[in-house]
């Protein structure tokens, strides 16, 4: 169902903050207004669980989300993303399981888009696709760095070179 006027305006603002709006033509904006759903998010709510299969793209319109990686005891927050950020693109591009857990850090509003609409509308636009793919590559590099650092830390810990950390 298409968003109402007020929600469509909110979506437009979020697309602008994400840097997409200037590259979208009126037809694409109209298609996105029909395809995106609006969801209220509550602090602490988990939008994405690491390791699961993903089929949704998320655009944060209000509030903020934290990106967490699994650890033996306490998951580690690797990023705090404000309104105007998007998440969930990596699993939709790579068809890999979700690379991290994403949870709401404060109450807000998120717009959700299903995989096919994400691929057809956003990845169908060369500029927007390029922006999304570049960020996905950068995020992947950060995850690989985090993984390497964690392995080094665990090895040093088991070799008694460092006091155990959670
Ligand atoms: P996906 O793998 O589908 O699900 C988890 C999401 O967390 C991922 O897509 C990205 O949107 C986001 N994410 C992963 N790594 C990072 C990072 N280093 N910085 C910010 N967001 C990230």
Please state, for a pLDDT cut of 90, what percent of the chain lies above it: 88
Helix 26-35 to helix 5-17 angle (10° resolution) is 110
Q: Is the CB of 105 under 6 A from ligand 1?
A: no
User: pLDDT at position 72, please?
Assistant: 83
Half-sphere exposure of 43 (CA within 13 A, CB side): 3
What is the per-residue pLDDT across 132-161, written as a single tens digit (0 to 9) for each?
999 999 999 999 999 999 999 999 988 886
157 alpha carbon – ligand 1 mean position (Å): 27
pLDDT of residue 87: 98
Please provide the distance, in angstroms rounded to a whole number, between the alpha carbons at the two ends of the chain. Answer: 45
Tell me which residue of 1, 3, 32, 7 sits closest to 123, measured CA to CA. 32
State how far the alpha carbon of 56 is from the alpha carbons of 11, 23, 116, 137, 152, in Å. 16, 22, 9, 19, 33
Taking the centre of ligand 1 as the mean of its atom positions, its distance from the CA of residue 126, in whole angstroms, is: 21
Distance CA 138, CA 104 (A): 22
Single pTM value for the model: 0.94
Rounded Cα distance between 112 and 19, Å, is: 17
pLDDT digits (tens, 9 = 90+) for 82-121: 999 999 999 999 989 999 999 999 999 999 999 999 999 9
* Structure-token pair, residue 43: 């602090």
Cα(154) to ligand 1 centroid in Å equals: 23
Nearest Cα residue to 70 out of 95, 90, 50, 42: 50
What value does the mean pLDDT take over residues 37-61? Answer: 98
Report the pLDDT value the prediction gives residue 164, as an integer from 0 to 100: 56
């Amino acid at each position: 169902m298409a968003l109402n006027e007020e929600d469509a305006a909110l979506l437009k603002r979020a697309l602008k903050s994400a840097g997409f709006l200037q590259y979208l033509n009126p037809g694409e904006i109209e298609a996105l207004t029909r395809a995106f759903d609006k969801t209220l998010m509550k602090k602490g709510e988990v939008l994405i669980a690491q390791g699961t299969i993903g089929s949704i793209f998320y655009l944060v319109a209000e509030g903020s989300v934290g990106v967490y990686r699994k650890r033996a005891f306490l998951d580690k927050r690797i990023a705090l993303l404000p309104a105007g950020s998007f998440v969930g693109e990596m699993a939709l591009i790579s068809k890999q399981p979700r690379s991290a857990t994403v949870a709401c850090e404060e109450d807000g509003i998120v717009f959700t888009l299903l995989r096919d609409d994400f691929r057809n509308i956003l990845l169908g636009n060369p500029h927007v696709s390029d922006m999304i793919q570049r960020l996905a590559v950068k995020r992947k590099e950060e995850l690989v760095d985090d993984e390497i650092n964690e392995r080094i830390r665990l090895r040093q810990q088991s070799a008694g070179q460092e006091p155990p950390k959670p």
